[in-house]
Structure 1
Amino acid sequence: MDTRRALLDALEEGPVSGPALADRLGVSRAAVWKQVEALREAGFAVESGEEGYEVRDVPDYGGDAIAFGLKAPYEVEFHETLGSTNDRARELAEGGAGGVAVVAAEQTGSRGRLDREWVSPPGSVSLSVLVRPDLPPAHAPVITLAAAVATTEAAREAGVDAAIKWPNDVLVPDPESGEAGDRGGAKLAGILTEMEGEADRVNWLVVGVGVNANVDPEALPVDATSLRAEAGADVDRRAFVQRLLERFHDLTADPDAVLPAWREHAATLGRRVRVETPGGVVEGEAVDVEFPGALVVETDDGRERVLAGDCEHLRRAE
């Protein structure tokens, strides 16, 4: 853990003296003072009293703001503007890094699944998490499902009734019908996973998450929505990202917990679907999801297990 993150963790526990911080961080008191001054310049209200340094206020957003109080062991790398958080995370992976969350206030060159365009206007949440899971490549889809669950639960905590369309689109279903066209609802967030691995293990995996957060619907495609639009007010992006990262870490540490959580938030199960796969179209009722993320579809010819494809909701199964 770097010195700044260690300092933030120490300050979160309450007032702490300069000497105590120096001992804990293994640096000089002058170095502690420089770090505290850097936090103040970043917008933190850090007071120095009889008991030591104490944080009284935190900026609305930013790398240090997200790291302060974060209950997940990720280093946070923050950019005001970045072409692609996934591209940056891949650069870090190729340099040997791991356990990093790359966050951008604005993303200018983002993309979604199947190389589709993904709009990331100011006010969005754009982040990519670089992890090195102890998994074979065939099990990597469970990490993507974990990200979908984490994003959905963070949205629900922010007051938005989100759900998941297989495998990882986060939607807001129509409040009356519970669905909206072939997408299954208005799109709130998208997830893109990239990986490098060998035959028996994943070397690194990057999960990119793009969320329409504090964005007006007019700035989005017609079939999309935002946290602001659904909640009726801006959401706390700092708290949203923290909850997402914490839940993602918990789920990836316990892969057996991912599928039950995914089923709980699924919009796809119980629906009639059409899935375009590399081997052709599969149509029927989506009845389950199996490890590491395969959709089980009841077709006229029996059950089929779909590992990858583009899913379209047709209607609710009778």
Structure 2
Amino acid sequence: MSDTRRALLSALAEGPVSGPELADQLDISRAAVWKHVESLREEGFVVESTPNGYVVADVPEYGGPAIEYGLEADYDVEFHEVLASTNERARELAAEGASDIVVVARKQSASKGRKERVWTSPDGGVWMSVLIRPDEPPAFAPLYTLAMAVAVCDAAREAGVDASIKWPNDVIVSEANNRSSGSPESDGVIVSEANNRSSGAQASNHDYRKLCGILTEMEGEADRVSWLVIGPGINVNIDPEALPEEATSVAIESGPVERRVFVQRVLERFDELHADLDSVLPAWRERADTLGRRVRVHTASGVIEGEAIDIEHPGTLVVRTDDGEKRVHAGDCEHLRPAPEA
């Protein structure tokens, strides 16, 4: 989006503003102002001309300008109706030197998560990737993924969903609080893919349903990050028949929401957190579903089982086992049901 269009949206969001005032603020002609306003109308904005100036009476439910309108975070939005993968497009933009861009797609046609797992991304969800260039060492990258998990969790809670976070970055709704399911609990293991952006793709026997997964990709040097792409895939306005049994959506839990507003809340909260990395771990702990549970974590070097007791910088899970405390930097985490009492 051009600087002129962004400034126009910002001015309109603040209230009635006349054509001459816009021309002065944007340093363009009144005819150019009119063309920009007409362009917004063609994109679905209802812009009324009143005695006090232009007033935005209605905003499209979704789209790049709709997301940028009133967004209190400094990101450009690149919107696509259909895109193979928002992460892939963000990587292309990173190679071109871009930064502070959010790639959003109404649908994705070739989505892939961790270990090349594939899933569908229908219209109704929020499929986006945030491209940033933080001045931090690569070891700090997990903090940004945790920050996005907190941001999504908070946006979901604001929408009325009793969301929490499963280590490291799945946003979930626990079965005890899931109003969409009346299925009885079953014995065994609760399996999940810790970094899979899939809306489902999990085994059965869950006592939670997945709302969001996050795929983070990075390029960097030894001492600093070159670029970071954080891609949440969020089930927002998706009906039950379009989701796997193990997944849920904001609409299922609390009713449909305006996706543009939901995206704005996620981006604004993420912006707050990545500007203050010291706040990320405390915020994650407060929203964690994993801490205090028995877990089984599959790592590259083997399986670790015990009680998840804490998370440490930059996202390391601390597990108390029979052999002492173990620290897990990456892995697929299972929540284990407690053994039945005798």
AA partner of residue 158 (structure 2): E
Structure 2 Cα separation of the partners of residues 275 and 2 of structure 1: 47
Counterpart of 1:137 in structure 2 is: 138
**1:228/1:279 CA distance change after superposition, 3 Å:** same
Structure 2 Cα separation of the partners of residues 64 and 176 of structure 1: 35
Counterpart of 1:283 in structure 2 is: 305
Q: What is the Cα deviation at residue 144 of structure 1? A: 0.2
**Correspondent of 2:284 among 262, 270, 274:** 262
Structure 2 Cα separation of the partners of residues 20 and 185 of structure 1: 53
Counterpart of 1:210 in structure 2 is: 233
Structure 2 unmatched runs, 5+: 180-184, 193-206
Q: What is the Cα deviation at residue 29 of structure 1? A: 2.3
Counterpart of 2:251 in structure 1 is: 228
**Correspondent of 2:223 among 180, 185, 200:** 200
CA contact (8 A) 2:142 2:315 kept: yes
Structure 2 Cα separation of the partners of residues 95 and 59 of structure 1: 30
Q: What is the Cα deviation at residue 215 of structure 1? A: 1.0
What is the 5 A alignment of 1:37-76? 37-76=38-77
1:190 equivalenced with 2:191 (yes/no): no
1:274 equivalenced with 2:293 (yes/no): no
Task: Name the SS for the 1:208 alignment partner.
Answer: strand
Structure 1 Cα separation of the partners of residues 174 and 150 of structure 2: 16
Structure 2 Cα separation of the partners of residues 260 and 15 of structure 1: 41
**1:208/1:176 CA distance change after superposition, 3 Å:** closer
Deviates more, 1:20-29 or 1:32-41: 20-29
Structure 1 Cα separation of the partners of residues 177 and 213 of structure 2: 23
Structure 1 unmatched runs, 5+: none
AA partner of residue 298 (structure 1): R
Q: What is the Cα deviation at residue 115 of structure 1? A: 2.1
**Correspondent of 1:307 among 329, 337, 340:** 329
Structure 1 Cα separation of the partners of residues 322 and 316 of structure 2: 19
Q: What is the Cα deviation at residue 82 of structure 1? A: 0.9
AA partner of residue 330 (structure 2): A
Alpha-carbon RMSD across the aligned residues, in angstroms, is 1.8
Task: Name the SS for the 1:86 alignment partner.
Answer: helix
Q: What is the Cα deviation at residue 219 of structure 1? A: 1.3
Structure 1 Cα separation of the partners of residues 222 and 269 of structure 2: 29
1:81 equivalenced with 2:90 (yes/no): no
Q: What is the Cα deviation at residue 4 of structure 1? A: 1.2
> Normalised by the size of structure 2, how large is the TM-score?
0.89
Q: What is the Cα deviation at residue 20 of structure 1? A: 2.0
What is the 5 A alignment of 1:153-164? 153-164=154-165
Structure 1 Cα separation of the partners of residues 160 and 178 of structure 2: 20
Q: What is the Cα deviation at residue 19 of structure 1? A: 2.3
Q: Deviations over 1:5-35 (max 9, x none)?
A: 1111111111112222222223232222211
Question: How many residues of Structure 1 are paired with residues of Structure 2 in the alignment?
Answer: 317
Task: Name the SS for the 1:269 alignment partner.
Answer: coil
> Normalised by the size of structure 1, how large is the TM-score?
0.95
Counterpart of 2:120 in structure 1 is: 119
AA partner of residue 105 (structure 1): R
Task: Name the SS for the 1:134 alignment partner.
Answer: coil
**1:225/1:177 CA distance change after superposition, 3 Å:** closer
Q: What is the Cα deviation at residue 136 of structure 1? A: 0.4
